[in-house]
Structure 1
């Protein structure tokens, strides 16, 4: 299992992985607008645009195949974290969170977690930080993880 920064060549696979996991675990609980919004965010061209900005994208590869990815926005916010459906519950998500924390800037890592992924983020050490919210049909739970002890 290798964790490395994604390249533009990885983005079609990244888009497919995100959509596969999203459609299975998240989409059934969202209105059509949320599915449409996410589809636009997970498009390879949208990934490329964010990659050109201040977003770090790390992937987990096994035998050259992308099995998971994390997108860290501005060094402080988990914008995406997905593991291929057939690779879940094997520690890939935790390894991606750990790798992202090495690149974090600041004392807190935040996420707007899909409701179906709240338990996973709690296992990664995140706590609830507010009320469930909605943006463009995407329903989320704000969470955060402290990176330094107080």
Structure 2
């Protein structure tokens, strides 16, 4: 098992993993607009652009199998966290959260959690910070994780 920074050669696999996980758990709960919005966010072109921005993208792999990914934007906002459907509930999300925390540049990490993922984020230590809302067809719950300050 390894958690490492995402590289360009991971883009196709990461995009496919995110879309598969979204289709498995989130897509049935959102509108057509929400699904279209997400597919744009998880496209290979979108990942190419993110790799060049102020984002940390990490992947969880075991052997040759990519099992999960996480993205931290500007050291303070978790934008994506996905684990492949067949590998969920095995500690991969928790491991990615722990690894991501090392890159935090703020004491509070925010996330707009899909409503279906709120229980997982609560297990990871996040807390709800307001009412659920919607943007571009995607419903979300604002949440925050307080990270330990670095010495």
Shorter-chain TM range is over 0.9
TM-score (norm 1): 0.97
Q: Please give the residue correspondences for 1:12-31 in structure 2 after superposition, counting only pairs within 5 Å.
A: 12-31=12-31
Q: Distance in 2 between matches of 1:16 and 1:7?
A: 15
Counterparts of 1:147 and 1:57 in 2: how far apart (Å)? Answer: 18
Gaps of at least 5 residues in structure 2 are none
- Shift of residue 50 of structure 1? 1.2
Find the counterpart in structure 1 of residue 56 from structure 2: 56
Partner of 2:119: 119
Mapped to 2, the partners of 1:147 and 1:76 lie a distance apart of 10
Q: Distance in 2 between matches of 1:77 and 1:95?
A: 17
State the distance in 2 between where 1:77 and 1:51 align.
15
Cα distance in structure 2, aligned partners of 1:78 and 1:119: 16
- Residue 135 of structure 1: aligned partner: 135
Between the aligned partners of 1:6 and 1:106, the Cα distance in structure 2 is 22
What is the TM-score with the length of structure 2 in the denominator? 0.97
- In 2, the alpha carbon distance for the partners of 1:148 and 1:95 equals 16
Q: Please name the residue that 1:10 is paired with.
A: 10
- The 5 A counterparts of 1:52-131 are 52-131=52-131
Stretches (4+) displaced over 6 A: none
How big is the shift at 1:41? 0.3
1:42 corresponds in structure 2 to 42
Deviation at 1:94, TM superposition (A): 0.3
Measured after TM superposition, the shift of residue 44 of structure 1 is: 1.0
The 3-state SS of whatever aligns with 1:89 is coil
CA RMSD of aligned residues (A): 0.8
